[in-house]
Each structure stands twice: as structure tokens, then as C-alpha cells.
């Protein structure tokens, strides 16, 4: 105890002291950054090829220099993909599919999130009779392959008189999004301290007041997550789109397939590339916008009440 | 003084597990009641039943002469304060305080008046426009108390409100709560596992174990005349010493010792005697010169010393049982030292060996 003090005043000449130096080219750095570079190249090179090809004329595409930068940049393939490409009888490009997809996307996302969040809240906070059974059935639904239900759903939609319409597809997306979204919301609401819920009940708030005034404002992050999940899922859906709609009401993905896979005439690679990028743009934008919101939402939620 | 809360034959079961077993509790108007017990004894469960946050299985709950057994929490005339504060994180302090009043659809002027009064009592005026995230633990708990205060109710329920605070703040807020009670004169039911909180705050303490009330009496009574061995062991720090033996002919005999029980107040069932536990609190055992004046004296050998600051706790062996008492810090005792100790059997407690009830 006493002999510590003299040591503290001695200059330290024996061995390391202070911050440990970090070499730039250590094995660890090389492995980590090497892997990261490799993975980003794996994703970015195809994207690069798509973008440059979409900006080339067909003559240049035929030269076969896939990686070369376009000599004269042209936006004609983009215009054609958006407004002129033909699928079947319609020759108004992807614009029709885009409109259909938006028409399907917005109500599907809103409806599924509204219903699922109320479901999750009821399951998490109001222990009603049969809640566990209801939840088990719902989760079981998440594991049934969609193919099994394709035809029965066709019959149901036909009987409801909405087969082949966008409304029908909205209903299908809402129902099929329910298991996973309900699970998501239930788990989040379960993590909200039960005492807050109890305090609100003592304060005289009912089912809806607690949901709208207490639970929802506390749950921005999970709503953002749900929006990301649903927007990308519904926008990228092909199976339901192709089965439950007609050419007039095809969503963008189905139309993209029809443009790219058309067997008549020459393959216009530049138009195909432009069309593909256009179709993928919406989920990409959602990621960029909500990604930031998402992080902010989590940070805001992390402050303990 | 009328009855404020009356719990009658309350039973609560979760499936086949009975958490509360035919529990009865009568609380007078303006009383400060503490429910005390180790974790899992059902004290918070009982509070939640009174608040109406748990549906009971059997029995009745009356608040202010009104049967509220089936009433919603908001209609029971209660305010509740939780251990984790349970403030609404997205609302300001003012929002937190006014939430319940807005749900009651009170006029705005009345809401403002009540918030101003509660903020004044709790000295949180400066915090009204802050969010809970920007408050310290003590401030948050004050706001949580304020939320119960603005409801203008007869009964306050506290569920371990100070357990999340550090020791110093806990002591400060404890005093404030006591003052608040003196000022408001509401009925308060307070759940805690901290016996110091219970002793200092309560008019009466209900000690719970396994869903039943073991004793319901004033702190003084519980300390000096515990109704059974569990209460005797649970209350007091360091815990009471117990010696096994037999009571017969006005004396307690155990391995080589006979303790005369002159001055001990027997219960009606106790006078008959029989196998018993003899309990004496460490702080009632005197050493050295003071021991000379005691009705019972003996000599013990020191086994272990634990210095605790003001006093030193000494472990010794008496009648083949572990036995501890307190000596002055200045007294330097070592293992093997002989100490003469003495105590007054009138301050002891005797319990039947079989049912562990007081005798």
C-alpha cells in the first residue's frame, strides 16, 4: 500500500505505455476491408453494367463491350421503357404498371399496418380469452407456402367479385402481410413496460385512447420497420400480381417481366436495363429516406421514459 | 374515523396457483399502510387488485363504503405510483399530469388549477414543459406522484416507488412522502420490501407471506411483539437470535441454561408452555457492566467480529446455537475472548415450536 507512490513518479522506460499503436496494414484490416470491397463489388458491378448499358444506343450495345462507358449518352431507352415499350396490346411502357403498383401499394401498406398494429396491441396488452390460440393460428399462417393458397384465393376473390381488380390484390396483400406484421407489432408492444399501460388505465384511458395517445407515439421505429417491410414486399411481389390481376391492372413487376421476356422483335437490352432500374427505384428510395428516419426513430426510442 | 378500504376474503388464482388466499384487510380513513414482504409474497398483486388492474377470483373490495369489486380502475377513486415511474415518454410533464384529467373531460381551467397546485406541492413548476427523458430519477418519481395527486382522489397506491432510486435520494423522498401524507391526510397504501421504509412511513404495517397477511399492526408492535416467528425473523436488522428449548414453570430451559421468564407477557395460549423458540434481538443484549443489571446473565466465547461502523456485530455460540449481539466499536474483541452478556427476558419473544405462533 505504501510503496505504490514512489513508482508513480519514476519515468517509465520499461515496456509499453499509453495508447496502443494500430498498424494500418494489419492482417485484420486487410481481411475486413478486403471482404467489404469484394462484397460491394459483387453488388455494384452489375448495377454499373445496368446503368451504362441503359445509356447506350443499340449499335453500341451490340459491340459487346459490357463494361465500357457509353460513347454518346442517350436517354432514349429510358423514355421508351417508361412510355413506349409494348406489352401485349398496350404500348404505353411501364408508366401504366407504375400507376397500378402505386394504386395497389398505398392502400395495401396502410391497411395492413393499421390492422396489424391494432392486432399486435390487443394481443400484447389486452389478454382476451383465446388470445394465445388466435396468435398461434396467425403465426402458423406465416409458415404456409403461398402456392397452397393460390387457387382457393382465386375462388374467394371471384365470389367476392373482385378477381382481376386492383382492389382484390389489395385485399390479398393485406391478409398475407398479417402474420408477420402482427408478430412484429406484438413483440414490440410487449417490450413497452407494462406499468405504462397500467398507469394509462388508472388515468382512465380506454382501448383506443391508450393505443392512439400512448402506444402509437412511442412506437415510431416499429412503424417505420413495418413500412419498409411492406413497401418492398408488395412492390417486389410478382406471384400475386400475375395471378390475381389482368393485363390492364398488372403491377409494374409483371409488366417488367413482360417487356424483358417478350419474344417478338429484337431484344433491346438498353430498354430492358432502364426498365429494370425504373422498377427497382421505389424500394431503393424508400430505403434511403426511411433508413435515416429509422435510425433516428431508434435513437429517440432509446431514451428511457 | 370511517373505513377507507376494505378487502374481504380476497382470492386471486392464476390457473391452479393461489396467489392471494382469502385475504382480509381493513384500512381506516387517512391511514398510511405499508404492505411489506419478500418478493413473491403477493404484496404488489394485492395492490394491483385494489387498483382494479387485476381481475380477482373471489371476494370483495370496498373503497369509501362503495363496492368496487367490478369497477374499472378509473372509477375507483384511486391514484397510483409505480416503481418504474411509468411516465408517458412522448408527453411533457404537463402532458403527463393532464392526461388523466383530459380523459375525464374536465374543463381546461380546472385542469390548469390542479396542475398548478400539484406542481406547487411537489416543487416541479420549473419542469412542467420538459419531457421525462430530460429528468433525473427523483424528479421523475415526483412527477409520477404528481400524476396521482392531480386526480384529487381519496386513496393513493404506491408500488415500490423508491426502489429505483439511490440510497440518499430514497431517504430524502421518504421524508417528503411522509410530509405529503401529513399535509394531504389521504389514505395511502404503500408496497415495499425495505423494512426501514416500512418502519418509518407506516401507521400500520401488513407483513405478507405466501399470499397471506402474517401480522397487521403498528411498527412498534411488530418490532416488539411479533405475532409469529416469520415476522420476528423478517423484521429487524441484524435479525433476531433464536434458541431452541422448552417453556415450563415460568422459565425457558435449553442445553444447560435456564432463563427465568419474569415480566414476559404471555399470550393466552402461551402460558401452557411446551417446546418453544426463544427469540431475542441482538440490540437488546447488553455486555460488560450493563449486563450486570440484567435479570439473565451468562458468559459466551467470541467466534467472529464484524465491524459495521458505529457498532461491531459479534458472533458467538450460546446453547449450541449461533448467537449475535452488538458491542461498541471501540471495544476490541478477538476470537476466543470471553464476554459476559445479559438481557431482559421481558423484551424477548417466545414462539410455539409447532405452529411458530407467539406464546
| Residue B118: CATH number of its domain | 3.40.50.300
A8 in contact with chain B, both atoms CB, cutoff 8 A:
no
Q: Residue A18: exposed, middle, or buried by beta-carbon count in 10 A (0-12, 13-18, 19+)? A: exposed
Average pLDDT over residues A207-219: 92
> In A146-163, which positions are buried (b, 16+ CB within 10 angstroms) versus exposed (e)?
eeeeeeebbebbeeeebb
Residue A11 has pLDDT above 70, yes or no: no
- Is B357 within a domain? no
Average pLDDT over residues A124-132: 87
For residue B180, what is its C-alpha cell? 405529503
pLDDT of residue B225: 93
CB A101 within 8 A of CB A251: yes
pLDDT tier, A303 (very low <50, low <70, confident <90, very high otherwise): very low
For residue B58, what is its C-alpha cell? 373471489
Maximum distance among all alpha carbons in chain A?
95
For residue B349, what is its C-alpha cell? 419473544
For residue A122, what is its C-alpha cell? 390487443
- Is B358 within a domain? no
For residue B170, what is its C-alpha cell? 430514497
Q: Comparing C-alpha atoms, which of B146, B158, B225, B229 is closest to residue B197?
A: B158
pLDDT of residue A305: 36
Q: Comparing C-alpha atoms, which of A196, A201, A191, A173 is closest to residue A115?
A: A173
pLDDT of residue A84: 83
Counted domains in chain B: 2
CB A204 within 8 A of CB B103: yes
Q: Which of B230, B246, B271 is the last residue of a domain?
A: B230
Spatial separation of the C-alpha atoms in residues B345 and B297, rounded to whole Å: 11
Q: Which residues of B touch A198 (CB under 8 A)?
A: 48, 51, 53, 73, 80, 82, 86
A302 in contact with chain B, both atoms CB, cutoff 8 A:
no
Q: Which residues of A touch B74 (CB under 8 A)?
A: 201-204
Q: Comparing C-alpha atoms, which of B83, B63, B49, B69 is closest to residue B153?
A: B63
Q: Do residues B261 and B168 both lie within one domain?
A: no
Q: How far is CA A258 from each of CA A117, A150, A276, A282, A294, rounded to the nearest angstrom?
A: 36, 21, 11, 19, 35
pLDDT of residue A302: 44
Q: Comparing C-alpha atoms, which of B285, B265, B287 is closest to residue B350?
A: B265
Q: Which residues of chain A form CATH 1.10.3720.10? A: 108-250+283-301
Q: Do residues B64 and B84 both lie within one domain?
A: yes
pLDDT of residue A296: 62
Which chain B residues have any C-beta within 8 angstroms of a chain A C-beta?
48, 51, 53, 72-74, 78-80, 82-90, 99-100, 103-104, 132-133, 147, 151, 159
Q: Comparing C-alpha atoms, which of B74, B81, B86 is closest to residue A196?
A: B86
Residue A266 has pLDDT above 90, yes or no: no
Contact B82/A303, CB-based, under 8 Å? no
Contact B86/A217, CB-based, under 8 Å? no
CB B275 within 8 A of CB B282: no
Contact B86/A218, CB-based, under 8 Å? no
Spatial separation of the C-alpha atoms in residues B165 and B170, rounded to whole Å: 6
Phi, psi of B64, deg, nearest 5: 55, 50
Strand-pairing partners, residue B10, are B23
Residue A304 has pLDDT above 50, yes or no: no
Average pLDDT over residues B45-59: 93
Q: Do residues B120 and B252 both lie within one domain?
A: no
pLDDT of residue B221: 94
In this structure, what CATH number is given to the domain that contains residue B308? 2.40.50.140
Q: Do residues B225 and B236 both lie within one domain?
A: no
Chain A 38-97, residues with CB within 8 Å of chain B CB atoms: none
Facing residue for B88 by CB, picked from A202, A304, A305: A305
Residue tagged 383530459 (cell numbers)? B102
pLDDT of residue B1: 60
Contact B74/A305, CB-based, under 8 Å? no
Contact B104/A214, CB-based, under 8 Å? no
CB B274 within 8 A of CB B353: yes
Best residue of A192, A196, A199 to probe chain B, by most B CBs closer than 10 Å: A199
**What tens digit of pLDDT does each residue of B68-86 get?**
999 999 999 999 999 888 9
Percent of chain A whose predicted confidence (pLDDT) is above 70: 91
> In B132-142, which positions are buried (b, 16+ CB within 10 angstroms) versus exposed (e)?
beebeebbbbb
The conformational region for residue A230 under phi > 0 = left, psi -120 to 50 = alpha, else beta, is alpha
Best residue of A192, A197, A212, A305 to probe chain B, by most B CBs closer than 10 Å: A305
**What tens digit of pLDDT does each residue of A144-196 get?**
888 888 999 999 999 999 998 999 999 999 999 999 899 889 988 988 889 99
Residue A201 has pLDDT above 50, yes or no: yes
pLDDT tier, B272 (very low <50, low <70, confident <90, very high otherwise): confident
For residue A65, what is its C-alpha cell? 463491350
Q: Do residues B242 and B223 both lie within one domain?
A: no
Q: Which of B187, B204, B230 is the last residue of a domain?
A: B230
A210 in contact with chain B, both atoms CB, cutoff 8 A:
no
- Is B328 within a domain? yes
For residue B49, give its domain range: 3-230
Q: Do residues B200 and B90 both lie within one domain?
A: yes
Q: Do residues B260 and B329 both lie within one domain?
A: yes
Residue tagged 433476531 (cell numbers)? B240
Average pLDDT over residues B149-153: 89
B149 to chain A: closest CA residue: A203
CB atoms within 10 A of CB B348: 21
Structure ipTM: 0.85
Q: Do residues B183 and B273 both lie within one domain?
A: no
Q: Which residues of B touch A204 (CB under 8 A)?
A: 72-74, 100, 103-104
Q: Which residues of A touch B133 (CB under 8 A)?
A: 303-305
Beta strands in chain A (DSSP E): none
CB atoms within 10 A of CB A139: 14
Q: Which of B230, B254, B269 is the last residue of a domain?
A: B230
Contact B100/A304, CB-based, under 8 Å? no
Q: Do residues B270 and B188 both lie within one domain?
A: no
> Is domain A108-250+283-301 annotated with CATH 1.10.3720.10?
yes
pLDDT tier, A295 (very low <50, low <70, confident <90, very high otherwise): low
Q: Do residues B142 and B286 both lie within one domain?
A: no
- Is B57 within a domain? yes
Q: Own/partner pairs for A54-63, CB < 8 Å, 24+ apart?
A: A54/A78, A54/A270, A54/A271, A54/A273, A54/A274, A54/A277, A55/A270, A56/A270, A57/A270, A58/A266, A58/A268, A58/A269, A58/A270, A61/A269, A61/A270
CB B241 within 8 A of CB B317: no
Q: How far is CA A194 from each of CA A124, B87, B278, rounded to the nearest angstrom?
A: 10, 11, 45
- Is B245 within a domain? yes
Mean pLDDT of chain A: 86
Residue B27 has pLDDT above 90, yes or no: yes
Q: Do residues B212 and B239 both lie within one domain?
A: no
Residue B334 has pLDDT above 90, yes or no: no
Q: Do residues B221 and B255 both lie within one domain?
A: no
Residue A293 has pLDDT above 80, yes or no: no
Mean pLDDT of chain B: 90
**What tens digit of pLDDT does each residue of A64-93 get?**
888 888 888 888 889 988 888 877 777 788
Contact A200/B51, CB-based, under 8 Å? no
Q: Which residues of A touch B72 (CB under 8 A)?
A: 201, 204
Facing residue for A198 by CB, picked from B53, B104, B133: B53
Spatial separation of the C-alpha atoms in residues A75 and B95, rounded to whole Å: 55
**What tens digit of pLDDT does each residue of B175-224 get?**
989 999 998 889 999 999 999 999 999 999 999 999 999 999 999 999 99
pLDDT of residue B317: 86
pLDDT of residue B31: 94
Which H or E run contains B286? strand B286-287
Q: Which residues of A touch B84 (CB under 8 A)?
A: 193, 195
A128 in contact with chain B, both atoms CB, cutoff 8 A:
no
Contact B104/A196, CB-based, under 8 Å? no
- Is B359 within a domain? no
pLDDT tier, A301 (very low <50, low <70, confident <90, very high otherwise): very low
A204 in contact with chain B, both atoms CB, cutoff 8 A:
yes
Highest mean pLDDT among A87-101, B15-29, B283-297, B310-324: B15-29
pLDDT tier, A59 (very low <50, low <70, confident <90, very high otherwise): confident
A215 to chain B: closest CA residue: B88
Residue tagged 413473491 (cell numbers)? B40
Percent of chain B whose predicted confidence (pLDDT) is above 70: 100
Residue B288 has pLDDT above 90, yes or no: no
Amino acid at each position: 500500500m505504501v510503496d505504490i507512490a514512489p513508482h508513480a513518479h519514476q519515468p517509465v522506460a520499461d515496456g509499453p505505455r499509453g495508447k496502443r499503436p494500430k498498424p494500418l496494414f494489419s492482417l485484420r484490416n486487410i481481411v475486413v476491408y478486403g471482404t467489404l470491397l469484394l462484397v460491394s463489388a459483387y453488388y455494384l458491378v452489375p448495377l454499373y453494367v445496368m446503368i451504362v448499358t441503359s445509356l447506350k444506343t443499340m449499335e453500341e450495345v451490340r459491340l459487346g463491350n459490357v463494361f465500357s462507358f457509353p460513347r454518346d449518352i442517350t436517354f432514349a431507352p429510358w423514355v421508351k421503357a417508361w412510355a413506349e415499350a409494348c406489352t401485349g396490346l398496350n404500348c404505353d411502357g411501364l408508366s401504366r404498371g407504375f400507376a397500378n403498383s402505386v394504386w395497389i401499394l398505398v392502400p395495401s401498406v396502410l391497411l395492413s399496418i393499421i390492422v396489424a398494429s391494432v392486432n399486435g396491441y390487443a394481443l400484447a396488452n389486452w389478454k382476451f380469452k383465446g388470445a394465445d390460440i388466435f396468435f398461434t393460428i396467425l403465426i402458423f399462417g406465416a409458415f404456409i407456402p403461398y402456392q397452397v393458397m393460390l387457387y382457393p384465393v382465386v375462388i374467394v376473390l371471384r365470389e367476392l367479385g373482385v378477381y382481376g381488380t386492383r382492389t382484390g390484390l389489395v385485399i390479398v396483400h393485406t391478409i398475407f402481410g398479417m402474420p408477420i406484421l402482427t408478430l412484429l407489432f406484438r413483440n414490440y408492444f410487449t417490450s413497452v413496460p407494462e406499468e405504462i399501460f397500467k398507469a394509462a388505465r388508472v388515468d382512465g384511458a380506454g382501448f383506443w385512447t391508450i393505443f392512439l395517445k400512448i402506444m402509437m407515439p412511442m412506437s415510431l421505429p416499429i412503424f417505420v420497420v413495418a413500412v419498409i417491410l411492406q413497401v418492398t414486399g408488395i412492390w417486389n411481389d410478382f406471384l400475386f400480381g400475375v395471378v390475381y390481376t389482368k393485363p390492364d391492372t398488372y403491377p409494374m413487376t409483371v409488366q417488367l417481366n413482360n417487356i424483358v421476356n417478350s419474344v417478338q422483335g429484337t431484344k433491346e437490352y438498353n430498354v430492358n436495363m432502364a426498365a429494370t432500374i425504373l422498377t427497382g427505384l421505389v424500394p431503393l428510395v424508400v430505403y434511403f429516406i426511411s433508413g435515416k428516419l429509422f435510425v433516428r426513430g431508434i435513437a429517440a426510442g432509446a431514451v428511457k421514459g | 374515523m370511517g373505513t377507507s378500504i376494505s378487502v374481504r376474503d380476497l382470492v386471486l388464482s392464476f390457473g391452479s396457483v393461489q396467489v392471494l388466499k382469502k385475504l382480509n384487510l381493513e384500512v381506516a380513513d387517512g391511514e398510511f399502510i405499508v404492505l411489506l414482504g419478500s418478493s413473491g409474497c403477493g404484496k404488489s398483486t394485492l395492490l394491483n387488485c385494489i387498483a382494479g388492474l387485476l381481475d380477482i377470483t373471489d371476494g370483495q373490495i370496498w373503497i369509501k363504503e362503495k363496492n368496487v369489486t367490478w369497477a374499472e380502475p378509473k372509477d375507483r377513486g384511486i391514484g397510483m405510483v409505480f416503481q418504474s415511474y411509468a411516465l408517458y415518454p412522448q408527453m411533457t410533464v404537463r402532458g403527463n399530469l393532464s392526461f388523466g384529467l383530459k380523459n375525464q373531460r374536465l374543463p381546461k381551467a380546472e385542469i390548469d388549477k390542479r396542475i398548478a397546485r400539484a406542481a406547487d406541492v411537489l416543487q416541479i413548476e420549473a419542469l412542467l414543459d420538459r419531457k421525462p427523458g430530460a429528468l433525473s430519477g427523483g424528479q421523475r418519481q415526483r412527477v409520477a406522484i404528481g400524476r396521482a395527486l392531480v386526480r384529487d382522489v381519496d386513496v393513493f397506491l404506491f408500488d415500490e416507488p423508491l426502489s429505483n432510486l439511490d440510497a440518499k435520494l430514497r431517504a430524502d423522498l421518504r421524508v417528503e412522502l411522509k410530509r405529503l401524507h401529513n399535509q394531504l391526510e389521504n389514505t395511502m397504501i404503500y408496497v415495499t420490501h425495505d423494512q426501514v421504509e416500512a418502519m418509518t412511513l407506516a401507521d400500520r404495517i401488513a407483513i405478507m407471506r405466501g399470499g397471506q397477511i402474517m401480522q397487521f399492526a403498528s411498527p412498534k408492535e411488530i418490532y416488539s411483539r411479533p405475532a409469529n416467528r416469520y415476522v420476528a425473523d423478517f423484521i429487524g436488522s441484524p435479525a433476531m437470535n433464536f434458541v431452541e428449548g422448552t417453556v415450563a414453570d415460568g422459565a425457558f430451559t435449553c442445553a444447560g441454561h435456564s432463563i427465568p421468564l419474569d415480566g414476559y407477557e404471555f399470550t393466552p395460549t402461551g402460558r401452557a408452555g411446551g417446546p418453544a423458540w426463544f427469540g431475542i434481538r441482538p440490540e437488546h443484549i447488553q455486555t460488560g457492566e450493563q449486563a450486570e443489571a440484567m435479570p439473565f446473565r451468562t458468559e459466551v466465547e467470541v467466534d467472529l467480529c464484524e465491524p459495521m461502523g458505529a457498532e461491531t456485530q459479534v458472533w458467538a455460540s450460546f446453547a449450541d446455537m449461533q448467537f449475535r449481539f452488538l458491542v461498541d466499536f471501540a471495544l476490541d474483541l478477538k476470537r476466543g475472548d470471553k464476554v459476559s452478556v445479559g438481557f431482559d427476558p421481558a423484551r424477548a419473544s417466545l414462539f410455539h415450536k409447532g405452529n411458530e405462533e407467539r406464546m
